[in-house]
Structure formats: C-alpha cells, structure tokens
C-alpha cells in the first residue's frame, strides 16, 4: 500500500516496511475469531455475534480493556486475505447472527475487497457489523458504503482535554462527529428483524462512562442529541469500565470503578434526552467480560 492515511492519525507510514501509530504493518493480524455473547442483546442474540478481533488500534486509550491485542505488535495471528476469508466462512457456518469486525479501521484497505467478495458470493447472509472507536476518517468510511450494515462506533469524549490526556487525540470529538454523520447518512434509521429480536441495520453509538467524568458523559449525550437527534440511532450506555487496565497509568482518577451515582446520573440524562437503546447491568464492570486473547 502507499503511505498510510487510513485513520485520522494520517501518520503516512509505509506499512510494507514499518509499523504505524496503530502498531500494525500491512498484513492482517487477528487476535480472536469466535462467537461472542457480550455485545448488545440484538447483536449477540442467542447464537452469538461472529467476532473478528483485529490486533492494533489507531486510538490507543490508556484504559483500554483489550491492551493485550491493541498495544502489542506481535500478539495474534498473521493471516493472508485468503486465510481470513476462509476463517470468516467457517465462523458464519457456525450459525452466528452477524459478522462483527472489531477495531478494523487500520485494515480497511484489505477488508473492503474481502467484504465485496463475500457479498458477491452469496455466502454472507447476515449483517456486517463495524465495531470501532469512532475515531475514523470519513474518506475511509466511504470505502465501506454498501458493505457494512450496522455501525457500532464509540463516542468517548466531549472534552478535547480528556481525549488528549487519555487517547492522545485532542480532535476526537470533531472527528467522531463527522464519522457519525457519515455512518448515519449511509445506514439511515436503525431497523430490527421482523420478530424484533435482532438488529439488521443502523447505527448504535456506544458510550463508556468513565470514573470521575460523568459530566463529560452528559455533554457527550447532549452533543449527540443536539447534532443528530435521538430518533435514528440507538444508544448503548456502558458501565463496564474496569480499572484493572489503567492501574499503571499516572491518572489516579481512573483507578476505581464507576459509582452507581455516576452511572445512574448519566442514564437519567439519556432518558431525559429521549434516547432509545441499552443500559448495562452494573455487574458488567468486571474483567470476566473481556475475551481471553491468549
């Protein structure tokens, strides 16, 4: 590939010979391919979401719960395009409800042709989920138009000070807003299956409430509601923050779980603003729900 500008870092790395900010070279490196049961209910369903967890990440938050794979350069398995295609087919044959690409941004140049081939083959009879940090370039998302059915982006921060401190991305809010606009323009209003059990198409915005920062969460929700309204997208409000992955950071405010008060105050704001979607049980704040990548 040419010098890489796939994600908003636009670090212009020659990934044939060097590693980008995302920690990856050109070859697709995958940490786990398996049914996963801890996504939102209409995505996990009863048979699981068909997840492909990619190694590397262009955002690299200090509290990431998947650090084993997002920050390590050599974990996981290097797969050719043909091998990944075959593994995806095997995953689909297991009966999963969708194909869920987790942290795929830095491999879109390889994934888009694979998705095109899958769609053309008739073997892909379930929705494709694009599961992302929300830190996306609009130009890259446009490459996925017609290939992705459900966008599952995070919207992590309103404050540029917070996004700079925890993710080295002071432009996060503006970038994520433009990305969300593109996702909504591609998919439109969300749509469920006829029986109402599974999501077939649309955009689900995830927001993880961080300890000590409930006011930023409330500003995130207000910003999304004011910019996009609350009718077309679903909100997934997450309480699953676990401090285990941030204990080695110099941010003591992240060294604890989110309190019930913090989470419930954000939930109340979501209800007041009229969001539809998903709240998480407080018992989800456990590293047990993080897949084992070893």
Q: Would you tell me which residues interact with ligand SF4 (CB under 6 A)?
A: 4-7, 9-11, 13, 15, 20-22, 58, 106
Smallest gap from residue 166 Cβ to ligand SF4 (A):
17
Smallest gap from residue 130 Cβ to ligand SF4 (A):
15
31 in Cβ contact with 53 (< 8 Å): yes
At residue 257, φ and ψ (nearest 5 deg) are: -80, 170
In the bound state with ligand SF4, the residue whose beta carbon lies nearer, of 58 and 132, is: 58
Smallest gap from residue 22 Cβ to ligand SF4 (A):
3
Smallest gap from residue 136 Cβ to ligand SF4 (A):
10
In the bound state with ligand SF4, the residue whose beta carbon lies nearer, of 17 and 281, is: 17
In the bound state with ligand SF4, the residue whose beta carbon lies nearer, of 105 and 236, is: 105
Whole-angstrom Cα distance, residue 285 to residue 289? 8
CA angle 288, 102, 23 (to 5 degrees): 100
Q: Which stretch of DSSP H or E encloses residue 219?
A: helix 214-228
In the bound state with ligand SF4, the residue whose beta carbon lies nearer, of 10 and 177, is: 10
Q: Which residue intervals of 71-171 are DSSP H helices?
A: 81-93, 108-121, 138-142, 160-167
* Token reading at 102: 């987790």
Nearest to 37 by CA among 46, 48, 51: 48
Smallest gap from residue 8 Cβ to ligand SF4 (A):
7
At residue 196, φ and ψ (nearest 5 deg) are: 75, 10
In the bound state with ligand SF4, the residue whose beta carbon lies nearer, of 29 and 97, is: 29
Q: Which residue is nearest to ligand SF4 (CB)?
A: 20
Smallest gap from residue 25 Cβ to ligand SF4 (A):
9
In the bound state with ligand SF4, the residue whose beta carbon lies nearer, of 21 and 263, is: 21
Residues 6+ apart with CB under 8 A from 252: none
DSSP letter assigned to residue 262: H
**Tokens 């869920």 appear where?**
100
Smallest gap from residue 28 Cβ to ligand SF4 (A):
13
Compute, in degrees rounded to 10, the torsion defined by CA atoms 157, 158, 161, 167. Answer: 20
In the bound state with ligand SF4, the residue whose beta carbon lies nearer, of 19 and 34, is: 19
* Token reading at 125: 């009879």
Smallest gap from residue 143 Cβ to ligand SF4 (A):
13
Measured in residues, the chain has a length of 294
168 CB-contact burial (10 Å; exposed 0-12 / middle 13-18 / buried 19+): middle
In the bound state with ligand SF4, the residue whose beta carbon lies nearer, of 108 and 209, is: 108
């Amino acid at each position: 590939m040419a010098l890489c500008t796939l994600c908003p870092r636009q670090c212009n790395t020659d990934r044939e010979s060097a590693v980008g900010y995302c920690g990856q070279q050109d070859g697709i490196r995958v940490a786990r391919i398996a049914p996963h049961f801890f996504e939102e209910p209409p995505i996990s369903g009863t048979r699981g979401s068909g997840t492909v967890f990619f190694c590397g990440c262009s955002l690299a938050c200090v509290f990431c719960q998947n650090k084993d794979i997002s920050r390590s350069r050599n974990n996981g398995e290097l797969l050719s395009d043909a091998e990944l295609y075959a593994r995806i087919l095997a995953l689909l044959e297991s009966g999963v409800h969708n194909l869920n690409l987790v942290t795929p941004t830095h491999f879109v140049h390889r994934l888009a042709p694979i998705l095109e081939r899958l769609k053309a083959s008739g073997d892909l009879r379930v929705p494709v989920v694009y599961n992302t940090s929300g830190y996306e370039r609009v130009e890259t998302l446009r490459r996925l138009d017609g290939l992705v059915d459900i966008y599952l982006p995070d919207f992590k921060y309103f404050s540029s000070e917070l996004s700079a401190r925890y993710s080295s991305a002071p432009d996060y809010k503006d970038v994520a807003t433009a990305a969300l606009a593109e996702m909504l323009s591609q998919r439109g209003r969300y749509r469920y299956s006829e029986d109402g059990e599974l999501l077939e198409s649309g955009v689900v915005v995830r927001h993880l409430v961080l300890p000590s920062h409930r006011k930023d969460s409330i500003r995130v929700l207000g910003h999304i509601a004011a910019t996009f309204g609350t009718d077309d997208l679903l909100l997934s409000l997450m309480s699953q923050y676990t401090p285990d992955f941030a204990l080695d950071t110099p941010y003591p405010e992240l060294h604890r779980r989110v309190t019930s008060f913090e989470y419930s105050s954000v939930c109340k704001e979501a209800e007041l603003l009229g969001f539809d979607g998903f709240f998480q049980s407080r018992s989800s704040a456990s590293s047990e729900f993080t897949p084992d990548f070893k």
